């Protein structure tokens, strides 16, 4: 047994669909819990968003980085809208304010996760290109 601290993944990793499902369930569940308990999202959902960015990149197969970066903001916005409609009812002014407030409160986490994810994606893409150095 080695003590390197890395998690050994057997097999090639999650497919694109698996990354989307795992991220959607994780973000949706914690968004619901925080909206239900606090009537707003906060630090717990933010940490889960960052974990879903990292987990999608880390546990996805090669070629799933784009999906792992794009999914969390979309899932968070859709999940927040869904749970707000479910918990508050269809009151357009209330739902609109709650949705904007939720997106604004999680903006730093979404920006940090997006910067990290796009860096990983673009760096991997740049490494695949052949070098233009002349011999």
pLDDT of residue 87: 86
- Estimate the crossing angle of helix 65-88 against helix 92-128, to 10 degrees: 170
Domain locations in the chain as residue ranges: 16-126
- pLDDT, tens digit, 9 for 90 and up, residues 27-52: 999 999 998 898 889 999 999 999 99
pLDDT of residue 8: 63
- pLDDT, tens digit, 9 for 90 and up, residues 78-135: 999 999 899 888 888 888 998 999 999 999 999 999 999 999 999 998 888 887 775 5
Instruction: Tell the burial category of 71 from Cβ atoms under 10 Å away from its Cβ (0-12, 13-18, 19+).
Output: buried
pLDDT of residue 89: 86
């Amino acid at each position: 047994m080695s003590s390197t601290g890395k998690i050994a993944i057997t097999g090639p990793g999650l497919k694109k669909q698996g990354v989307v499902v795992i991220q959607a369930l994780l973000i949706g569940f914690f968004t619901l819990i925080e909206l239900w308990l606090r009537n707003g999202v906060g630090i717990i959902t933010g940490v889960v968003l960052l974990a879903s960015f990292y987990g999608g990149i880390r546990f996805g197969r090669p070629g799933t980085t784009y999906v792992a970066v794009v999914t969390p903001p979309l899932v968070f916005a859709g999940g927040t809208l869904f749970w707000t409609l479910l918990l508050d009812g269809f009151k357009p002014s209330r739902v609109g304010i709650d949705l904007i407030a939720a997106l604004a409160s999680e903006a730093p986490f979404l920006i940090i996760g997006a910067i990290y994810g796009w860096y990983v994606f673009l760096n991997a893409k740049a490494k695949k290109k052949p070098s233009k150095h002349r011999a």
